[in-house]
Structures are given as C-alpha cells and as structure tokens.
A and B are shown apart, each in its own frame.
Chain A
C-alpha cells in the first residue's frame, strides 16, 4: 500500500502476516505488520487461536473439576495456577490451610517460578540463535521436573493443589532432591550469566529493544516481571502477602530500562530470590497434616471412606454434588510467574461455579506487543516477544 508519512513523504509499505505459527512466537499469535523495508511501521495483532472456552467449560463441572483446567492456563508453571485458584476458593470459605500445606505451596510455587523463568530465558536465547544457554537452563529444569514426577505423578499438567489442601504429602527424600535442584539452579544461573551479561551479540539484540515506559506499562495493565523490568516494585507477594511470604527474607527485583534485556535479567534475578525463599521454606517444613479436616471442603481420605460411614458420605457427596462454595462474588489475585493471575468468581451457593473469569497476565502483555514493536525491525520484534513470555494457554484460555 502506498502511504504518505507524517512528514508528507511517499512510502510503499508492505503488509506482512507474521504468524499465526511463526517459529519464534512458540504459540499461535498473528501480527499483521506494515513494513517499510525491514522496519515495522505499524502493527495489529490477532489472538484467540488457542481459545478453548475455559470459562464456559468450568461452568459445567464441580468446583474441584476446575483444577485440571487451571493447569492448562500457564502450562509452564501449572501448579501455580492450581494454587492460585484453590487459594481464591479457600478465601471464600474463610478457611485457613495447615502450616505444612502453606510451606509446601510456597516451595511448589517458587520451584514452578524457577521453571517458568528458566524456560522463558532459554527460549528467548534460542530464538536469537543461542542453543548453549538453552541447555544450561534445561538441566536444572529437568531436575525439578523429576521432582514433579515423583511428587504429583505428572510432568506438565500436575493438578497438585486441592481446595483445602494438596493432592498428597511429599515423598521420602523430597527435601534432599529439592536442595540438589537448587544447587544445580545456582550453578546454571552462573553459566547463564556468563553467556548473557557480556555477550555482545545478545546485548546488541536486546538492549533498548522493545522499550516501554512505566506509565504506559501500568496503563496497559502489565504485572509481574514485565512490569518490574520497567522499574515498578510491584509484587503481590509483598504488597498483599499470602502464605507468609512477608516473613521470608527476599527482595523484589526491579529493572531500570523496561527493554527486552531487562525483562530477561529480571527473570534471572527472580530465580535467585526464589532459590532463597525455597531454602528458607525447607527449614520451616515440619511434619503435620497437609489437608484441612472438613468433609464439606476437602474430600475425606480414601482410608476413611472404606472404614467409616461419614467418610463414605463425604466422598460421595463431594464427588457427585461438589463442594458448596458460599454464595457471593470475589476477585482474588495471586502472583504467578508471568504476573497477576486473578479469578473473578461468582458463586450461587451450589456445587458448580456460576462464573469464573480468569485474569491472565499474558493478555495485557500481548495487547501492548503490536504497539511496542512499532519502529523496530522485524527481527527485533521476535527478540521482544519471548521476553514477554506469552503463554497461549492463559492468553486465549
């Protein structure tokens, strides 16, 4: 198309479809860019290629049946979503989960965050042509995945949290293996920083690229590492603490520039903070129950179902009718790997959720994507996208 630019100069722009399945997008997103040579003059994006109707599906099941669906939101850190949802419902019940459950949830949360940040940084490097850091990041990630296998029985979609507790307690040697994974994480961090920090090619590709100002990011509803990279110290674990996050010794990591490099560096630094939190949490891990005892919320153990009439009734009612969440409306937010994962929950007091709206951090990040790549070259736009850590599962729901 032929256009006159704001200075009145005639340009011949080429509209180019990037995606829906561009190798560097990892998921499906379409960017229609008007190119002047290699530079993106304007862009519009289209999402929804992975829309599965999360919010419609969950209305058909019971409250517990929502949990496996939440796995499929941000599937790089599935258990964080489980925990965020369970926390929201527990708040509606007004119950307090046992101490051991709290600490375990913190450990699982932070290990998931490490996993998620590792995959983001690894993929970002891979997109720019660096395969070595990918492997450095994936070694500790694999160790954590092996812990997930033993802990939950699954690698990717774990469905570990339950409303009022956890699927099960840990196994023998859990603490030892977590400590070993933390050691490899720290080693990998050193290797990654050696690859990243003074790598001329990498810095040229990411420093000052895809910049966004503080005010703009806030107006776009950015949260999590992407917002902190702009220099806003906003972290729900500190601002609205839950699971005693305020009592652990850790810092909120902030960047300065809000560019692609900062977004990756903030993630790496957050891994360090998560390692700190997990080390402290392991010390707090004392034996005790992980589930609350209330058959109206947490289904009674199998053992009870076979021995005891009430246990059998509890299991039967919980599975067939679902637990009855008190009537009302609530918005609950938790700090997940990508930012604020929120659930607007409407309950009519029955065993089925009336309406659950997911507030996914990715949606707000991607909404700004076409704007922040304007003025960049096409290749730079693909250096920007991985830093936003777009996850189609939570973007499209």
Chain B
C-alpha cells in the first residue's frame, strides 16, 4: 500500500511540473498522460529524482484507437511502463497521445537502453516514429514488409511476399564506428533494395 501512495504522489508531481493529466482509463494502476514535447523532461525527472528513481523502462506499448467505441482525440497512444528497482513495487505508466497525421514521439534511448528495441517494435507495428532514435528499423516484421500490422485498419488476413533477408551489414558497420573503429575498406556494398541483392526474389 505504501507504494500506491508513493505512485499517487509521483503522479501529482508530474501534473504539477509537466502539465500531465491523470489518465481516466487507468482504473487499476496509475497512468498519466503527458504531452509529447514534455516526455523527455518528465522521464528525466522520473529517472533521476532521488526520491523516485524509476530506473527501469519495462515496456512500451502502442495503442491504436481507430475502432475504439466513442473515442475522441488523437488516434494513437504510446504507453510507457516504468518501475523502480530501488523503491520496490513502485510503478507508473506514462502515456503520450499521438495524432495520425504526424505520428512522432521523442525517443527515450538516451535514458534507457531498453528503449532501443521497444521503440523499434512500436515503430514496426504502428508506424509511430521516434525522433532521435539512432537505428529505427523494423524489429519483428520482415525488412520487406509493407504497412504496420497492429494498426486496426491493417487486415489480419493480408498476405505479403517476403523473400530476402535483412542485410544487416550497414548496421554492423555503424556499430563498429560507435565502438571507435574506422572502416577503411567496406565489404562489397549491397543494399536490400539493390537489383543484384533481390535477384531470385519474386517480388516486383
């Protein structure tokens, strides 16, 4: 029960500092809706405040409200679940509402390592762009996949021809450069959309 009071207090602080609003939909846990532009500041506060210490980004979930009954407001939402390993049992969800025409949210990769793949997954499944993400590629779906399957308007039965594997060499080079290596001579450059690379693929 102690942790519940604590989370309530954190939510109140977020409301005060970052203009966040309590999410009325969260009836069983504490969630606050924060504007996209305040997200990095709010997360920095959550992570670094000595009393709060939300040091783990547990999950990022995309939500598409397209067919939600009587829904008003932006079409998408991104729900971030945080927890603290210091104040055990302390959890909080942050929600960012994202419009359909400009689905952009600032990245959290600067704060948490786990944000890397979790944001890639949301991008993959919903097409929400995380600005500033160092390597925003698809994660679960195939490199040739077209569309974002967890959007409500993506038909579940739709089939796509996917033939070639992810090349991955440019990513490896990027990783080497990040580690301080300098590429002198590259392996033969092949891009996933090269004709030569796609030879044998039935895709047009």
Contact = CB atoms under 8 A, between A and B. Distances in A.
A6 interface: yes
Contacts of B28: 91-92, 328, 330, 332
Contact of B79 (A60, A329, A340, A364): A329
A344 B116 CA distance: 19
Given A3-B184, A42-B175, A240-B89, A344 B79 contact: yes
B141 A330 contact: no
Interface in A30-88: 30, 32, 34, 41-44, 46-48, 51, 53, 55-57, 59-60
A349 B176 CA distance: 50
A309 interface: no
A47 B29 contact: no
A132 to B, nearest CB: 37
A6 B178 CA distance: 10
Contacts of B139: 47-48
Main secondary structure, interface of A, reads mixed
B68 A354 contact: yes
B116 A44 contact: no
Interface residues of B, number: 62
Interface residues of A, number: 68
A44 B168 contact: yes
Contacts of B31: 329
Given A348-B68, A367-B117, 7 more contacts: A43-B172, A60-B156, A219-B56, A221-B58, A240-B3, A328-B27, A333-B83
A218 to B, nearest CB: 5
Contact of B59 (A218, A220, A232, A344): A344
Contacts of B168: 30, 32, 44, 46
28 contacts: A1-B183, A1-B187, A2-B185, A4-B181, A15-B169, A15-B172, A32-B171, A42-B179, A43-B172, A48-B138, A55-B150, A218-B56, A218-B85, A219-B55, A234-B88, A239-B88, A239-B89, A240-B88, A326-B27, A328-B27, A328-B28, A329-B25, A329-B27, A331-B59, A344-B59, A354-B68, A357-B59, A359-B58
Q: Which of B88, B93, B142 has the most CB of A within 10 A?
A: B88
A219 B181 contact: no
Interface of A: 1-6, 10-11, 13, 15, 30, 32, 34, 41-44, 46-48, 51, 53, 55-57, 59-60, 91-92, 216, 218-221, 223, 227, 232, 234, 238-240, 326-333, 340, 342, 344, 346, 348-350, 354-355, 357, 359, 363-364, 367-368, 370, 374, 396-397
Contact of A357 (B61, B89, B116): B61
B140 interface: yes
A348 B69 contact: yes
B69 A15 contact: no
Contacts of B118: 221, 363
B125 interface: yes
B6 to A, nearest CB: 13
Q: Which of A48, A55, A59 has the most CB of B within 10 A?
A: A48
A43 B175 contact: yes
Contacts of B183: 1-3
Given A44-B168, A51-B141, A234 B59 contact: no
Nearest to A330: B28
B149 interface: yes
B112 interface: yes
B198 interface: no
